[in-house]
Amino acid sequence: MSPRRQGLPPLERDGLADDPIDQLAAWWEVAEREVPLPDAMTLATADADGAPNARMVLLKGFGPEGLRFFSNYESAKGAEIEARPRAALVIYWRELDRQVRARGPLHKLTEAQSDEYFASRPHGSQAAASASPQSRPIEREELDRLFAEARERAGDGPTARPGHWGGYALEPEEMEFWQGRDNRMHDRFRYTRDGNGWRIERLAP
């Protein structure tokens, strides 16, 4: 049993928030202090044939509109989201032996929200987002050339957010909070959308 897990009390129904976003906020506060990369998460989408695709992205905030992340709209995941705007997310905090899962529909963030986040990125990351034809076959030399041209156009200043890049929010219809315990007798609670509220159930590990 890890030292982190030793310090965590068992997960009980009466200790959970009534809303899963509030529960995520409580766990996030701990993860920000204890986990080296708390915002890393797996995003799963499906292609035109229904075959799943999964990759790591970064959680860039959450609130009433859902869990937010950013991407190239013309990437493989962008095309899959456009065709099938639903996804699943998994956040795993090894140091805390905790996992959060979410499933639901996706929608694009507003241009203002995407502009605000893009402006906060380092200039090199801005240029890379502008230059990279994400998910398409390319030689390294061509990729480096596109990046160098983007940096040259921007000079020492920021790069304007390209129209093919922006944010999404997953609006959860279902969220699960998992916490490890000894002997694999883990605690699992699932929130399921129920009208304007949430139904909360303990699940067997």
Question: Catalytic amino acids?
Answer: 184
Long-range contacts at 152-156 (CB < 8 A, ≥ 24 apart)? 154/123, 154/126, 154/127, 156/123
Q: Which residues lie below 8 Å from residue 183, measured CB to CB, with a gap of 6+?
A: none
- Assigned token pair, 172: 């959860």
Residue 69 near residue 51 (C-beta atoms within 8 A)? no
Partnered with residue 191 across adjacent β-strands are 175, 200
